[in-house]
Amino acid sequence: MKAQVFPPDFQCVRNDTLFWENSVNTCGGFNSYDIFFSPNINGPYNLLTSVTDPTDTNFFHSNPIGETFYYFMQGNFNCPGEPILSSDTLDNKSPLPSPITLVTVNGNLVEVSWISSGSPEVTNYIVYRTSPIGSVPVDTISANLNNYIDLNSTPEDQSESYFILAMDPCGNTSVFDLPHFTVFVQSSVDMCAKSILLNWNKYKNWTNGIDNQEVWVSVNSGPFSLEAILSNQESTYLFDNTNDGDEYCFYLKTTEQNTGFESFSNAHCLTLDIVEPVRDLFLKNVNVNDANEVELTWQWNNDAEVNAVEFSERAIDGNFSPIDSYNPSSSISVETDRILNGADPISGPRFYQVKSIDDCDSINISNEVSSIHLVAEAQANQTNLLNWTAFERPDGIVNDYDIYRIVGGISSYVETVQGNTTVFSDAVDISDPDEARICYYVVANAVVTNPDGIDMNISSQSNTFCVEQLSDILAPNAFAPEGVNKEFKPRIVFGETVDYQMQIFDRWGKKIFATDNQDEGWIGRDGFFYYPAGVYVYIIRITQTNGRVVEKKGSVALIR
């Protein structure tokens, strides 16, 4: 048996440089490695060069205009009569592409299959997946494989797309071929029509195109069954044979024309939830809290599926206008309350309504209920007069009103009046400086009948209204600097003032004393000068924090 002269292991061409691994031949001594080339794959081939250094593993072939050349190598050894073998024939271009034949969802992962590259130098395939930042390599596998399962794919969340690049030992890769996409099934539910609309991206870039598409369905974890066979033009399907609370799972099977390749989508599952309408929407109470915010309390069926809630307000002689809204959570309670944004319980009595809108755009409007509007005014006889509007609602009766006052930040009960009373007079203690400013609110105690005919007790608070007392100036008509009453100093009742002035004039109208300090009185002298006994005129003026000016003029007798 004759020996053979083995060629070098011709690996690849990169940037006009040929790379190889030297061969081992034992039949004779080394002469050279001969490189042949041709611009045509079928030849003829000419000797390009003979590499005489047995340790060389590359050769640069200058190719300034980038022509396509084909190369093969032979080993030249002193082995007379032995057959000389040639290496693979390689070109100086990138490896041929590896077209994808199929991407499909396998369980919860993506499986990719492709046709092997026609370039003999290919040693690996690079699998690329498209991501938000572009196409990125996810793995490199051996050239003897043409199938890959992507362990990091998420076909349940999105359509995944892939490229396959062939790579040679020099790092040259094929160009990007057409990407293939997994079919991603999603759905939208018409909760009013009790239907499910499936939608998906059709399989793309099969060579022969789509033959047909099949919709498969499983109900409540049962076996999948064929629901429909669709043309290659469809990307939606309406499934309307549904029941509230059932779980439905769908997948799509797409088949390529002629080849019979089958691609499976993700399994898309959902539990059907039909809209439960609002029933017995009832505005139970309108309450104004201590911060003068309006709080509504209403009730409805606890299985109602509400998309939006809107709140409206009107004055006594006005029309309802929306002032606030919100979107409730998926679960609601029978009784719900909310502090309204934009409500105005200060300007006057207001009426309120609650409107619900469900996911089918059905609208329900509650009964209307008024707030209690309280005003108060300080009287000259050291009393505060309170007036409030009645707590109006056709479905209830007010039994009585509780009256409260707030002094120094502390709330206390004052009195209870009958339900047909809306006025009250409250006495003020002029000896208590804290009562210079008193705040009030009233609470209506009522019995209300709900839509089920059941009576319930409720309490509705009015707005809080604060009253600043009328200041008064009390001045003596005489004083004796050498007696018991040694100075002329008026007494200011509820004298929380911004400004204070007192002036003293003699009988000729000359100003002889002035001060802006409430604690400073007139002692009847100026230094060592003592004013004679007699009658003097005073003017006292104060300005309260609310801007009200109080002035007192009079005369005082100076007694010596």
What is the predicted pLDDT for the residue at 543?
87
C-beta of residue 311 within 8 angstroms of C-beta of residue 295: no
Out of 60-74, 248-262, 537-551, least confident range: 537-551
Q: Looking at the predicted structure, is the pLDDT value of residue 275 above 80?
A: no
pTM over 0.75: no
Beta strands at 335-339 and 321-326: parallel, antiparallel or unpaired: unpaired
DSSP per-residue codes, 411-429: EEEEEEEETT--EEEEE--
Q: Looking at the predicted structure, is the pLDDT value of residue 1 above 60?
A: no
CA–CA–CA angle 248, 253, 257 (5° rounding): 160
Of 288, 297, 287, residue with least CA distance to 333: 297
Mean pLDDT, rounded, of the chain: 92
- 74-126, pLDDT tens digit by residue? 999 999 989 999 999 999 999 999 999 999 999 999 999 999 999 999 999 99
Q: Looking at the predicted structure, is the pLDDT value of residue 497 above 80?
A: no
Of 109, 93, 113, 46, residue with least CA distance to 74: 46
Q: Rounded to whole angstroms, what are the CA distances from 437 to 98, 296, 341?
A: 89, 29, 28
- 7-31, pLDDT tens digit by residue? 999 999 988 999 999 999 988 899 9
What's the mean pLDDT in 449-474? 89
What is the predicted pLDDT for the residue at 232?
96
Confidence grade of residue 191 (pLDDT, cut at 50, 70, 90): confident
Q: Looking at the predicted structure, is the pLDDT value of residue 547 above 90?
A: no
What is the predicted pLDDT for the residue at 496?
63
Interatomic CA distance for residues 483 and 528, integer angstroms:
18
